[in-house]
Structure 1
């Protein structure tokens, strides 16, 4: 994997999100734990809601438009909802967030 430094962990509040613009579009970063971050596409497949503006809880995000819930680990919609959002490998090293550059080019969902 080819890792790209996309920012400081402390730039994302705990249980918060931020957007990173890439060549492939906007990626939402979600901080679920002091040392845990997930990266997904920013758009809900239901109505295009901005997931980065949703509520982060456990390892999930709730879309701010119609309350659809997505796993940040798998991208799968939860409960009776259907759909999937793209997820991207990330890791935290020395307080910096790194994302797999190659995975951005393989966006298959959302």
Structure 2
């Protein structure tokens, strides 16, 4: 049985946007909200060149990587054809307007992956977003 960690309110995530969730170890998690108020969570790293997916544009159930415009599926973390590769996804649930992530996954899932490679866009990774949520204390509580 999963232990769920409250992260933020759904309204804290802009429609067609994302917020980053910092983790004690490993690459941050990007939490996305689409136009249908569906919420998804992926490692904040494109499988192509490590671009910050949290800075991409959400459309339908995909996000466009801001570095090279790869379309990444929000439901599975995989690049859309003809591109190839996947980024890890995280379990997410919304209850009474609050977004929760699986606490065990936050601590252990994909923590051994290297941070994004240096290159175009790497210097701005994490600086353009409005807010990063700390998993130690849920936002707004």
TM-score of the two chains, using structure 2 as the length reference = 0.72
- The aligned counterpart of 1:18 is 19
| Moved segments of 4+, more than 6 Å | none
Q: Give ranges in structure 1 of 5+ residues lacking alignment.
A: none
Give the deviation of 1:101 after TM superposition.
1.3
Which structure has more RCO (C-alpha within 8 Å, separation ≥ 6)?
2
* 2:27–2:111 CA contact under 8 A, matched in 1: no
The 5 Å alignment of 1:30-69 reads: 30-69=32-71
Structure 2 unaligned spans of 5+: 114-141
- 2:109 is matched with 106
Q: Larger Rg: 1 or 2?
A: 2
RMSD of equivalent CA atoms:
1.7
The TM-score normalised by the length of structure 1 is 0.91
Number of residue equivalences: 110
Is the CA contact 2:63–2:72 (under 8 Å) kept in the aligned structure 1?
yes
Equivalent in the alignment of 1:2: 3
Give the deviation of 1:33 after TM superposition: 3.7
